[in-house]
Amino acid sequence: MAEIFIKEVWKLHGTPRTTISDRGRVFNNEFQRALYERLGIKPLYPTAYHPETDGLAERTNQWLEGFLCSYCNYAQDDWAKWLPIAEFCHNNQVNSATGKSAFEKVYGMHPRWNIAPTTSNVPHAEDMTKQMELIWDKVKASMESHKAKEKAPRQEYKVGDKVWLMTTNIQTKRPAKKLDNKKAGPFTITEKISSNAYRLDLPNTMKIHNVFLLNLLAPFKENTDFHRREVKPPPIITEEGEEEYEVEKIVA
């Protein structure tokens, strides 16, 4: 951990006054505490089960998990390669509270970021630049959408509406919960239990109770534009469920 600190933090930014981390042994051990004491660094640890002790750090972690969830493969073993892109995108985004990005606050400027309006004769280079541009566009759209949701009025649904289901409390067969899909569906509402709870039509692979609170649901809107159509996450298979598929139509 000390080597990572020197390589990723100290050489770029100098010695910080404080750091924020969880209480894992990697961050909270005798050697680390002794090193921080000698360097004059004050470690801050959120209270157990209350990571919102530092709201900004928690929101950053949530955003990072969502980013990695969107781009890592199903086995979740390639997440490390996406970290540099995630870090750049986050640091280049303007913070609504300060009106500046992390790059602006540290360096006084935004790093150069543009794709030249030309094409390359090297297919791999062309594919890489297009992917980088697509990721940046999706990140900006995601952050703007998140800000809009925070200001939106209370959502209400009716029977027949399709909604996304947040997978916060759903255990699946994938190895890492933090990098699993954050939502499942879309599913159809079959009954309005109350203004705060709805019953959903779930597949047989999800062996769970089918009534959910409003805060676990998000509206689903079909985008008719093929290039902007949102990719649906793979079917959820809970720990007790078995994968099943139902034929929708025969195309040939």
Is 37's pLDDT higher than 80? yes
Lowest mean pLDDT among 82-86, 135-139, 140-144: 140-144
Q: What is the pLDDT of residue 152?
A: 61
Burial 32-56 (b: 16+ CB within 10 A, else e): beeebeeeebeeeebeeeeeeeeee
Mean pLDDT of the chain: 76
Give the mean model confidence (pLDDT) for residues 95-123: 79
Please determine, for residue 145, whether its predicted confidence score (pLDDT) is greater than 80: no
- Evaluate if residue 185 carries a pLDDT over 80: yes
Q: What is the mean pLDDT of residues 23-49?
A: 77
Domains present along the chain, CATH in parentheses: 1-45 (no CATH), 59-149 (no CATH), 162-228 (2.30.30)
pLDDT at 232: 56
What's residue 161's pLDDT? 94
pLDDT > 90 in the chain, percent: 6
Does 191 or 252 have the greater pLDDT score? 191
Q: Which of 77-81, 86-90, 157-161 has the largest mean confidence? A: 157-161
Over residues 123-150, the mean pLDDT reads 73
159 has pLDDT over 60 = yes
Report the 3 state secondary structure along the chain.
CHHHHHHHHHHHHCCCCEEECCCCCCCCCHHHHHHHHHHCCEEECCECCEHHHCHHHHHHHHHHHHHHHHHCCCCCCCHHHHHHHHHHHHHCCCCCCCCCCHHHHHHCCCCCCCCCCCCCCCHHHHHHHHHHHHHHHHHHHHHHHHHHHHHCCCCCCCCCCEEEEECCCCCECCCCHHHCCCEEEEEEEEEEEECCEEEECCCCCCCCCCEEEHHHEEECCCCCCHHHCCCCCCCCCECCCCCCCCCCCCCC
Higher-scoring residue by pLDDT: 177, 161: 161
Range from 19-23, 184-188, 191-195 carrying the lowest mean pLDDT: 19-23
Say which residue, 168 or 235, is predicted with more confidence: 168
Rounded average pLDDT over 21-38: 80
Query: Is a pLDDT exceeding 70 seen at residue 56?
Result: no
Indicate whether 245 pLDDT > 60. Answer: no
Residue-wise pLDDT tens digits, 204-232 = 877 788 888 888 898 998 765 544 455 55
The mean pLDDT of 101-119, rounded to a whole number, is: 79
The two beta strands, 162-166 and 183-194, are antiparallel
> For residue 28, is pLDDT > 70?
yes
**pTM (2 d.p.):** 0.51
